[in-house]
Amino acid sequence: MRLSLTRGRYIARLAETPQDILRAQRLRHRCFIGEHDGHDADHFDDVCKHVLVEDTRSGGLVCCFRLLPLASGSEIGKSYSAQYYELSSLGAFDGPMVEMGRFCIAPEVRDPDVLRVAWGAMTQYVDEAGVEMLFGCSSFHGIEADSYVDAFDMLAERHLAPKRWLPKVKAPRVFRFASERLRRPLDRKAAMLRMPPLLKTYLVMGGWVSDHAVVDTDLNTLHVFTGLEINAIPPARAKALRAVAG
pTM: 0.94
Helix (H) or strand (E) holding 204: helix 197-204
On the question of pLDDT at 181 being above 80, the answer is: no
On the question of pLDDT at 182 being above 70, the answer is: no
Q: What is the pLDDT of residues 69-99, one digit of tens each?
A: 999 999 999 999 999 999 999 999 999 999 9
* pLDDT confidence of residue 65: 98
- Average the pLDDT over 39-65 and give the result: 97
**Amino acid in the structure at residue 117:** V
Give the C-alpha distances (Å, rounded to integers) separating 58 from 114, 134, 171, 206. Answer: 14, 31, 41, 35
- Average the pLDDT over 167-181 and give the result: 92
Per the CB < 8 A criterion, the answer to whether 117 and 198 are in contact is no
On the question of pLDDT at 2 being above 80, the answer is: no
How would CATH label the architecture of 4-245?
3-Layer(aba) Sandwich (3.40)
Domain spans of the chain, in order of start: 4-245
On the question of pLDDT at 35 being above 80, the answer is: no
- The rounded distance, in Å, linking the Cα atoms of 144 and 60 is 32
Give the C-alpha distances (Å, rounded to integers) separating 237 from 6, 129, 204, 241. Answer: 20, 19, 8, 6
Question: Can you say whether the dihedral through the CA atoms of 123, 137, 41, 106 is positive or negative?
Answer: positive
- The rounded distance, in Å, linking the Cα atoms of 135 and 224 is 11
* pLDDT confidence of residue 36: 77
Q: What is the pLDDT of residues 6-17, one digit of tens each?
A: 999 999 999 999
Of all residues in the chain, the percent with pLDDT exceeding 70 is 98
On the question of pLDDT at 183 being above 90, the answer is: no
* pLDDT confidence of residue 186: 81
Helix (H) or strand (E) holding 10: strand 10-14
DSSP state of 160: B
Q: What is the pLDDT of residues 119-133, one digit of tens each?
A: 999 999 999 999 999
* pLDDT confidence of residue 245: 87
